[in-house]
Amino acid sequence: MASIDIRNVRKNFGIVSVLHGVDLSIENGEFVVLVGPSGCGKSTLLRMIAGLEEVTEGEIRIDGMRVNERAPKDRDIAMVFQSYALYPHMNVAENMSYGLRIRKAAREKITAAVSNAARKLELQPLLARRPKALSGGQRQRVAMGRAIVRQPKAFLFDEPLSNLDARLREQMRAEIKKLHRDLGATSIYVTHDQIEAMTLADRIVAMHEGVVQQVGSPLELYDRPANLFVAGFIGSPAMNFLSARYEVGAGTAGARLPDGTLIGLSSGYQLEEGAPVTLGIRPEHVEMSPGSESSLRATVDLIEPTGFGIILHLGLHGLPFNVFTLDRAALTAGPTVTVAFPPQHLHLFDETGMRALETSL
Amino acid sequence: MNNYSTFGTALHRLAILCYVVFALFPLFWLLKVSVTPNDLLYSEGVRMWPSRMSFEHFRFVLAHSAFPVFFRNSLIVAGATAVIVTLLASLSGYALSRFTFRGKYWLVALMLLTQMFPLVMLVAPIFKMLSPLGLTNSLTGLVVVYTAFNIPFATFLMQSFFDGIPKELEEAAKIDGATQFMAFRQIVLPLTLPGIAATLGFVFTAAWSELLFALMLISGNSAATFPVGLLTFVSKFSVDFGQMMAAGVLALIPACLFFLFIQRYLVQGLTAGAVKG
Ligand SMILES: Nc1ncnc2c1ncn2[C@@H]1O[C@H](COP(=O)(O)OP(=O)(O)OP(=O)(O)O)[C@@H](O)[C@H]1O
Ligand SMILES: [Mg+2]
């Protein structure tokens, strides 16, 4: 169990700068999920914590101790790789016990730790098998087992489930959550998967192009994204954005769309009158009831039933706009529909893409 | 299966058969001549198998020629070269595969360059260098020369095998608590056994059949290797084909045994199951 502090960490590969000063404090026992588009530096950050990449600048502390110069073996962390990286010439038990064996742990202790982990992960019948005789899900479990037998200070996961099919992924996701609940170990988890991030994280770290965009609980990121990037990245289908101008009157505030429609806002913002803004609304928050004054007509391009709900791909002034609804009536929606934006679900971003600060009206 | 693919398969098999026959025929001829008694060698015309078989050539070669000495010398030289080269090439191949270091590009270029010269050009300078060191006419000298010539290629060969082993395996080992060297020895090396076997086999056969340097650096029978020894059958007894072929058959044995021993590693896909895919 350990806390991890990342202070102004930078990483250059030759002349290419990949991380531009990352700050992050992870508390003992916390489950932190790193999300961000491909190439934003998630793996690089994780590998730096593991000691597999050198830190160009800044400091990484584990339990308050600077570890920049420590070899991976002296950091006492475990890592689960996307490819699992099981040792092909060792059977499952040997794979799991390798770390303990080279640390010269007592034989009884090794046996106990392996059988304990095997029981937790339901690997007992497979202990004598080689990795190549295992299914993807089983390999994934062995990789987890190898991480937990050593009882390290922290776990690092680099997209551990992305090679599994959807159902297995769901199942393993729940197991990882259970495992974390049982072991309470500090964990850093990299994923592309929204749902994994939302369900597993105590805190999500959203990254973009080597810069941390927002750190917060899953619901904070969902409800109050700090900027356009986080707003567009968290949530699926992604948030809709419309350009508008901010207008404020006596006791009211609104966003004027290019076609002249005024969308009412629930509060005022620290913005100049007429300031260009981006209005954001999640597809699941759009209402399809006609009649409200700020409602808009949109053309229906495509209807995608997901079983649970329906995704409508609309065209709003020629721009793509998505709506998610549970109402099956949408399946038979005509060539045009009316959409309305409930003020409490609107997000407003200023010209620089940052979330606009609210003020009272 | 339709007609076309049956036909295609047949053609395919036939092509392979032709190739195998073509490749193996000289070996067959070697064997045939080695068991043909001298009096039948020229008298029977061209036949696939002599009407009477005899092992007299083998008996003579083993009992009355210097062949056993050549054989032993070759075994020592080829064996030592194979082991030394493979050992060094594994280390250098690993370094080329995994590390970036200053001068790597030029090192590789230089190693490639050494492969471009015809060896004949180097005979005189090498002789000049080795003779004051007392390494001419000695098996050690041959081992040194063969090692030097085989290392570049063997390094590239080993490098390609190391390249085939996912880097993550070592990283996982390091995180598990291994040092770089432990990760190499306990994880990478066992997985490179096929590559090591291939390199051993390649270098062994190259050194086993090398003639040019063996001929130039060695005089006299005591340090001669088997390819040089074969030539003695040419000079001494006009050309005694029967004995020469018998010696040739015997010389094939270690190579065959060697490949029999390593083929298990050559065909085995040991890395299967390391990473997904
Ligand atoms: N060894 C390296 N040398 C040079 N550039 C590298 C190296 N490793 C990574 N990069 C670059 O660093 C950037 C971040 O890579 P990283 O692997 O951390 O991305 P990621 O966020 O994990 O992406 P993904 O989600 O696709 O795994 C990428 O642009 C990549 O090209
Ligand atoms: Mg990655």
The predicted pLDDT at position B274 comes to 45
Q: Exposure of B270 by Cβ count < 10 A (0-12 exposed, 13-18 middle, 19+ buried)?
A: middle
CATH of the domain at B238: 1.10.3720.10
State the pairing for strand pair A57-62/A4-13: antiparallel
A52 vs B276: CB contact, 8 Å cut-off? no
* A98 to chain B: closest CA residue: B176
* B172 to chain A: closest CA residue: A85
What is the overall mean pLDDT for chain B?
A: 85
On the question of pLDDT at A110 being above 90, the answer is yes
Residue B104 lies in a domain: yes
Residues B123 and B27 in one domain: no
Residue B206 lies in a domain: yes
Q: Count chain A–chain B contacts defined by CB atoms under 8 A.
A: 87
B176 vs A133: CB contact, 8 Å cut-off? no
Residues B21 and B72 in one domain: no
Residues B198 and B254 in one domain: yes
Residues A116-166: tens digit of each pLDDT: 999 988 899 999 999 999 998 899 999 999 999 999 999 999 999 988 888
Alpha-carbon span A56 to A68, nearest angstrom: 9
- Treating both helix axes as pointing N-terminal to C-terminal, what angle do A92-102 and A107-120 enclose, rounded to 10 degrees? 140
- The answer to whether A218 and A204 have CB atoms below 8 angstroms apart is yes
Measuring CA to CA, how many Å separate A90 from each of A16, A52, A102, A129, B186? Answer: 38, 23, 14, 8, 10
What is the overall mean pLDDT for chain A?
A: 92
B186 vs A79: CB contact, 8 Å cut-off? no
Helix (H, G, I), strand (E, B) or coil at B135: coil
Which residues neighbour ligand 2 (ion) by CB within 5 Å? Answer: A 43
Residue B174 lies in a domain: yes
Residues B245 and B170 in one domain: yes
- Beta-bridge partners for A22: A9
The predicted pLDDT at position B269 comes to 46
Question: Which ligand neighbours the alpha carbon of A192 most closely?
Answer: 1
Give the contacts of A154 (CB within 8 A, at least 6 positions apart): A1, A2, A4, A49, A62, A77, A78, A185, A186, A187, A188
Smallest Cα distance from A5 to chain B, Å:
19
The predicted pLDDT at position B236 comes to 53
Residue B193 lies in a domain: yes
- A46–chain B Cβ distance below 8 A for any pair: no
- For chain A, give the percent of residues with pLDDT over 70: 98
Alpha-carbon span B151 to A180, nearest angstrom: 51
Question: Which ligand neighbours the alpha carbon of A36 most closely?
Answer: 1
The predicted pLDDT at position A89 comes to 92
A47 CA closest ligand 1 atom index: 18
Contact residues, chain B to chain A, C-beta under 8 Å: 166, 168-169, 171-179, 182, 186-187, 190-191, 270-277
With a cut of 70, which residues of chain B have pLDDT below it? Answer: 1-3, 235-238, 264-277
- For chain A, give the percent of residues with pLDDT over 90: 78
Instruction: Give the model's confidence band at A217: pLDDT under 50 very low, under 70 low, under 90 confident, else very high.
Output: very high
- A291–chain B Cβ distance below 8 A for any pair: no
Specify the DSSP class assigned to residue B105: H
Residues B43 and B133 in one domain: no
Q: What is the dihedral of CA A161, A165, A170, A173, to 10 degrees?
A: -10
Give the contacts of B49 (CB within 8 A, at least 6 positions apart): B32
Alpha-carbon span A137 to A169, nearest angstrom: 8
Measuring CA to CA, how many Å separate A4 from each of A1, A150, A314, B4, B27? Answer: 10, 18, 45, 66, 68
A102 vs B276: CB contact, 8 Å cut-off? no
B273 vs A79: CB contact, 8 Å cut-off? no
* A77 to chain B: closest CA residue: B175
The predicted pLDDT at position A290 comes to 63
Residues B218 and B111 in one domain: yes
- Give the residue from A188, A160, A136 showing the smallest Cα distance to A2: A188
Alpha-carbon span B103 to B111, nearest angstrom: 12
The predicted pLDDT at position A307 comes to 92
What B26-35 contacts at long range (C-beta under 8 Å, 24+ apart), as own/partner pairs, is B27/B252, B30/B245, B30/B248, B30/B249, B30/B252, B31/B245, B31/B249, B33/B241, B33/B242, B33/B245, B34/B58, B34/B242, B34/B245, B34/B246, B34/B248, B34/B249
How big is the CA angle at B100 (ends B98 and B105), to the nearest 5 degrees?
110
How big is the CA angle at B258 (ends B253 and B259), to the nearest 5 degrees?
105
Residue nearest to atom 8 of ligand 1 (CA): A44
Residues B102 and B164 in one domain: yes
Residue B277 lies in a domain: no
Alpha-carbon span A204 to A26, nearest angstrom: 11
* Chain B positions in Cβ-Cβ contact with residue A81 (cut-off 8 Å): 168, 171-172
Residue B60 lies in a domain: no
B273 vs A130: CB contact, 8 Å cut-off? yes
Instruction: Give the model's confidence band at A361: pLDDT under 50 very low, under 70 low, under 90 confident, else very high.
Output: confident
- A103–chain B Cβ distance below 8 A for any pair: yes
On the question of pLDDT at A202 being above 80, the answer is yes
- The answer to whether A248 and A317 have CB atoms below 8 angstroms apart is no
Closest residue to A73, CB basis, from B169, B177, B277 = B177
Number of separate domains in chain B: 2
Residue nearest to atom 2 of ligand 1 (CA): A13
CA B5 from chain centre, in angstroms, equals 38
Residues B116 and B248 in one domain: yes
Residue B196 sits in which domain range? 65-272
State whether ipTM is beyond 0.90. no
- The answer to whether A85 and A136 have CB atoms below 8 angstroms apart is no
A51 vs B178: CB contact, 8 Å cut-off? no
Instruction: Give the model's confidence band at A293: pLDDT under 50 very low, under 70 low, under 90 confident, else very high.
Output: low
Whole-number Å distance, alpha carbon A209 to ligand 1 midpoint, is 10
Alpha-carbon span B50 to B42, nearest angstrom: 11
Residues B19 and B113 in one domain: no
- A160–chain B Cβ distance below 8 A for any pair: no
Residues A16-37: tens digit of each pLDDT: 999 999 999 999 999 999 999 9
Residue B105 lies in a domain: yes
On the question of pLDDT at A61 being above 50, the answer is yes
End-to-end CA distance of chain A: 48
Residues B14 and B113 in one domain: no
Residue nearest to atom 5 of ligand 1 (CA): A13
Residues B141 and B73 in one domain: yes
A37 CA closest ligand 1 atom index: 25
Instruction: Give the model's confidence band at A289: pLDDT under 50 very low, under 70 low, under 90 confident, else very high.
Output: confident
- Ranges A181-185, A282-286, A330-334: which has the least confidence: A330-334
Global pTM value: 0.81
Residues B82 and B43 in one domain: no
Residue B59 lies in a domain: no
